[in-house]
Amino acid sequence: MKRRDFLKSATAAAATTAVTGPAVFSPAKAQARNETLLIVSESGPNNLDIHGVGTNVPGYEVSWNCYDRLITHEMKTGPNGQPYYDKDKFKGELADDMKIDDMSVTFKLKKNAVFQDGTPVKAKDVKWSLDRAVSVGGFPTFQMGAGSLTKPEQFVVVDDTTVRVDFLKKDRLTIPDLAVVVPAIFNSELVKKNATEKDPWGLEYTKLNTAGSGAFKVVGWTAGSEVIMERNDKWTGGPLPKIKRVIWRMVPSAGNRRALLERGDADISYELPNKDFVELKDSGKLNIVSTPFSNGCQYLGMNVKTAPFDNPKVRQAVAYAVPYQKIMDAVLFGLGTPLFGAAANAPTQVAWPQPTKFNSDIAKAKALLAEAGYPNGFETTLSFDLGFATVNEPVAVLIQESLAQIGIKTTINKIPGANFRTELNKKILPLYLNVFSGWLDYPEYFFIWCYHGKNSIFNTMSYQSKDMDAFIDGAVNAAAIGDKATYEKDVKGFVDLAFTDMPRIPLFQPYSNVAMQKNVTGYAYWFHRRLDYRTFAKS
């Protein structure tokens, strides 16, 4: 994208929301420019509603900034000295007060909280929204269930400004689960006016329109091109953001995104190749922040219900064939933590992620493949999310080349980012690259999502093991009652079993890399890995 085309497009976007181009970009209007955040990224949202079917990761960013939840996290200093969410400490967002009893928690709402159209936020909106989250099915409902929030009857309106959440059982994940992206509070009357008999929760309306009380609201969206957001001056969830307008543009070319940053035409970008981040950091012209994904890893998944990946020896052969160090050197350039090559005598940790004991060993991989009955290999497809191609594509090519050495011929399948989540959740992809980062930073939470056999939406390997389920359930129950010994035993148990059965191969713990102009401040790392516009400022 040429500079003049970018400026022309961004100016046109501003004009559609009643702000002229010069008000945003003219040096004579520097104050307005300093209140506008220009973001460029590889991909954008396919849905503005976190409850929508197949909402992708960029969609989380819209929801986080445009909707409030009852509570949110306090902040602390992270591993790189930057602000980082504190997983164990909470504060009110829509709630003014939170009282936890033995089997319930009661929230008092802020009396001056209003939705973006000026309608007061009431307890009935909170109940309707939480009812929606546990009822729409798919990812939102499973997410709520991870914290034992499964029934509309758990959400009780006490009065207009008081809501009680009843616990089904003691679960240490319940309170944290109310602070993730999913339990967003919607303007229930507005959404119900736009619902239909076939769409009782108004998902078609909220796919295209925001209906929250959050700090920002979407005023323009062209799928695959740009999102325009404006500050909600009536927001009460925290200090009023210094940024008044966000222009988020999708620029698929990493080279173009880098050029826009280096020329000062964009304020922030992420999803650049790691090589670019290293070079930009070395140049000193931009602020580069790198943070390890909390509770996350990039992995190679295999569908264990379909031959040949139903054979554990085939999966182990693939694990030995992965060119781990080449990936670290040629793709990550040091911006990632290896999840391979642990010493043979290294004890299993009560932690996640942690490295496997696999290393690249082509001879061992060939021998295992022959033992499995595939001495000449086989053909398959290797799929990845094209929305995150800057990492996925070179990793896929390196794996393709390495698997060819043991006779496995792979055809690379590039799935558009808007469709990847839907295709992944069909659980039919034989071999695929993906990244998963658990929002609640506990080992058992990651394994609930990714390894549990009971309808786990991100168990995209179709993996079933009664022993695995017992270890995960045991850890959850032990954590709830503070049984440390049993908890540690069960965590080690499910990690060991995952590394034995190997339905997915951990590759590395990615870093969230963000490049910003020197005059941009206020970046904070969140569990969802997306930008929080509320704390940004420009000088």
Question: What CATH number does the domain containing 240 carry?
Answer: 3.40.190.10
Has residue 291 been placed in a domain?
Answer: no
Residues 160 and 223 grouped into a single domain:
no
**Are 43 and 105 in a shared domain?**
no
Same domain, 367 and 500: yes
Q: What is the pLDDT of residues 275-305, one digit of tens each?
A: 999 999 999 999 999 999 999 999 999 999 9
Between the alpha carbon of residue 357 and those of residues 228, 301, 344, the distances in Å are: 46, 17, 6
Indicate the burial class of 343 (C-beta count within 10 angstroms; 0-12, 13-18, 19 or more). exposed
Q: Could you give the CA distance from residue 517 to residue 53 in angstroms, rounded to a whole number? A: 35
Asked whether the CA dihedral 49, 51, 52, 55 is positive or negative, the reply is positive
Looking at the fold, whether 318 and 465 belong to one and the same domain comes out as yes
Residues 184 and 226 in one domain: no
pLDDT the model gives residue 10: 42
Say whether both 351 and 452 belong to one domain: yes
Q: What is the pTM assigned to this prediction?
A: 0.88
CATH number of the domain where residue 126 is located: 3.90.76.10
pLDDT band at 456 (very low <50, low <70, confident <90, very high): confident
pLDDT per residue as tens digits for the range 298-341: 999 999 999 999 999 999 999 999 999 999 999 999 999 999 99
Helix H segments across 101-202?
Answer: 123-135, 138-145, 174-177, 188-193
Question: Is residue 321 located within the same domain as residue 467?
Answer: yes
- pLDDT grade, residue 229 (50/70/90)? very high
- In this structure, are 525 and 447 located in the same domain? no
Amino acid at 313: K
Provide the residue range defining the domain that includes 59. 3-67+214-267+517-538
Residue 272 lies in a domain: no
CA atoms of 183 and 155, how far apart (whole Å): 12
Residue with tokens 């119900």: 192
CA angle 115, 118, 124 (to 5 degrees): 50
Q: Are residues 448 and 524 in the same domain?
A: no
Domain boundary among 188, 206, 234: 188
Return the structure tokens found at 59. Answer: 């969609």
Asked if residue 275 belongs to a domain, the reply is no
Cβ(177)–Cβ(124) under 8 Å? no
Residue 194 forms part of a structural domain? no
In a domain, 451, yes or no: yes
- How far apart (Å, rounded) are the C-alpha atoms in residues 488 and 406? 38
Instruction: Specify the higher pLDDT residue, 90 or 418.
Output: 90
Considering the domain architecture, whether residues 369 and 486 belong to the same structural domain is answered as yes
Q: Does residue 274 fall inside a structural domain? A: no
Number of domains in the chain: 3
Of the three residues 172, 188, 204, the one that is the final residue of a domain is 188
The predicted pLDDT at position 476 comes to 95
92 & 40 share domain: no
CATH number of the domain residue 374 falls in = 3.10.105.10
Quick one: 313 and 437 in the same domain?
yes
Does the residue 277 lie in any domain? no
Assess if residue 200 is contained within a domain. Answer: no
